[in-house]
């Protein structure tokens, strides 16, 4: 019996490898985004702690130096938060770019899989036609041999 050999199998395998690499790149970009978001959470928590400390310093005995230091710390935290928000935006862009590349690679792989399926269907049809032809020849040969006997 004939064996199906897809002549572009190596291309399909290459597309599958590229897709797995893009999946890894996408997951790494997502992990980096989550890490940047976690950093933002830490900064927001520190800012809240400084604000709480400032509130406590303004109640009771006033220490101007400590209040100024706390206000400066809050200002620094606001600046760091702004910077971190920009880092998050950059990470989101990288995730979106990785998602776009992954989508394209998946489409290409799917296209090659569809081509392989079509080639396999054509192979099955050719095989069926060949078997039908052989059966017809066998029947014809058998019929002619009966007439000669």
What global pTM score does this model have? Answer: 0.75
Q: What pLDDT score was predicted for residue 138?
A: 82
Q: 9-116: which CATH number, 1.10.357, 1.10.1060, 1.10.3470, 1.10.287?
A: 1.10.287
> For each successive 10 residues of the chain (149 residues), what is the average pLDDT?
86 96 97 97 96 89 89 96 97 97 97 95 93 85 69
> Where do the H-state alpha helices sit in the chain?
9-58, 64-148
Q: In angstroms, what is the C-alpha Rg of the chain?
A: 35
Cβ neighbors of 95 (< 8 A, separation 6 or more) are 26, 29, 30, 32, 33
Q: Which two tokens mark 32?
A: 């980096």
DSSP annotation of 60 reads: S
Residues 15, 28: Cα–Cα separation, whole Å: 20
- For the chain, the domains span 9-116
Q: What angle do CA 110, 111, 113 make, to 5 degrees?
A: 60
């Amino acid at each position: 019996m004939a064996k199906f050999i897809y002549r572009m199998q190596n291309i399909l395998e290459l597309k599958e490898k590229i897709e797995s690499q893009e999946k890894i790149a996408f997951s790494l970009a997502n992990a980096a985004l989550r890490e940047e978001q976690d950093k933002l959470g830490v900064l927001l928590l520190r800012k809240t702690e400084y604000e709480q400390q400032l509130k406590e310093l303004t109640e009771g005995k006033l220490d101007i130096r400590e209040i100024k230091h706390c206000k400066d710390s809050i200002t620094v935290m606001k600046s760091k938060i702004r910077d971190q928000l920009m880092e998050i935006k950059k990470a989101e862009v990288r995730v979106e770019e990785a998602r776009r590349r992954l989508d394209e690679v998946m489409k290409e792989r799917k296209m090659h899989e569809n081509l392989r399926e079509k080639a396999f269907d054509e192979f099955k049809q050719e095989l069926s036609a060949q078997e039908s032809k052989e059966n017809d020849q066998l029947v014809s040969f058998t019929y002619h041999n009966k007439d000669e006997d």
